[in-house]
Amino acid sequence: MSALVTTDEVKAIYTTPKTDLSAFIDMADNLVAEQLASQGLSDTRLKNIELWLSAHFASVGDGNAEIIEERAGNSDVRYADFTQGSSSVEGLLMTTYGRQAVALDTSGTLSNLGRRQARFTVV
């Protein structure tokens, strides 16, 4: 599958100093092709998901931290630290872009990625 989005389209929703986003777009395209293309989603929806996934991967690649906690009294802000893996927020939920991709996926495939399946054995 060839990429559904371009660098310019990704830069329309995500500001980055990088000029080449092809690696991030390729990751998103692979994920869409392998996990979502067979789920009955429209081509337009797949393109929108790929766009937000591309921005997600680029954002994580840039090391951008998202605010994970804010307080008004005595002003306190906590940021997710993507580079050290100390964030309690994982996977696609780490960024606004990833959360938007999950929201667009009406098949539920993205929200289940990486989850372990429970296995019960009766003795």
Domain ranges for the chain: 7-110
Give pTM, 2 decimals.
0.76
Q: What is the mean pLDDT of residues 37-50?
A: 97
Burial group, residue 16, by CB count within 10 angstroms (0-12, 13-18, 19+): middle
Q: What is the mean pLDDT of residues 13-26?
A: 94
Average per-residue pLDDT for the chain:
83
Model confidence at 71: pLDDT above 60: yes
Cβ contact 13:53 at 8 Å? no
* Range from 27-31, 81-85, 89-93 carrying the lowest mean pLDDT: 81-85
Model confidence at 117: pLDDT above 70: no
Listed in sequence order, the residues at least 6 apart from 92 whose beta carbon sits closer than 8 Å to its beta carbon are: 53, 56, 98, 99, 101, 102, 110, 111, 113
